[in-house]
Amino acid sequence: MKKFLAAALFACSLFLAAPQAHAYSELDLLEGNWYDDNGNLFAIVRDGRLNTFRMDMITMAGSPGNFAAAVQVQEPNGFRNVPVEYSNAAANDKEKNNPFFRPTVHLNGVNVHKEWFQVPDSAYDYLDGHWYDADNNLVAFFRSGTFNTYPMTFLSFYGVGNHFDSIFKINDHGTEKYFALSLHPTTAGMRISIRMLGVDDWSYASLHQ
């Protein structure tokens, strides 16, 4: 009954809001020991921890029984992003359905790898300022690690200061919102593309300063 209620709560949360961070107590499907293809123990999930380290999960696509997500693990030397894919198709055969053993996974167009990530200071410098669409309407304002005045927390970052793909979140008066953000140079200057995850009609390409 406990597992049924937990799964139901999680399913409801997917429909009530954009992708948000969830405690693992709401997702019992990942509890337990997970093994690689050779039968070696690879991951242990217990009470919101992955291999003893605190973790946060963002569900990017799918349903509670069949999803792709990114787990951010807080280890002693920093944060690590780990891809997660789960399918009920092999739920009873964990050696063949290890959600933590994938070399790479695509989340809304952004590659998530098992690797450390660090946001270069120069990335914030390149982002700083006002960004406009093709009709010169102001869409985004970045300053000193904030997006439209809200502090940003990067959840993934791939690239260098002036050319990268990323996912970040903000807390908008108690509501967590998630964005995919890309920045790249062009012959006409820097351009960014940004879209809100889980919101189909909030997407902008090639914003300029």
Lowest mean pLDDT, pick from 4-8, 138-142, 184-188:
4-8
Residue where a domain terminates, one of 84, 116, 148:
116
Q: Considering the chain, what is the average pLDDT of its residues?
A: 73
Residues 6+ positions from 51 with CB-CB distance below 8 Å: 43, 44, 73
Residues 6+ positions from 200 with CB-CB distance below 8 Å: none
Residues 6+ positions from 28 with CB-CB distance below 8 Å: 2, 3, 6, 7
Please tell me whether residues 104 and 147 are part of one structural domain: no
Instruction: Give the residue among 115, 114, 204, 119 at the shortest CA–CA distance from 164.
Output: 119
pTM equals 0.52
Please tell me whether residues 6 and 106 are part of one structural domain: yes
pLDDT at 91: 54
Query: For residue 24, what are the domain limits?
Result: 2-116
pLDDT at 193: 94
Strand ranges for 88-128 from DSSP E: 104-107, 110-113, 115-116
Please tell me whether residues 200 and 168 are part of one structural domain: yes
pLDDT at 60: 55
pLDDT digits (tens, 9 = 90+) for 43-73: 778 887 888 888 776 655 666 667 767 777 7
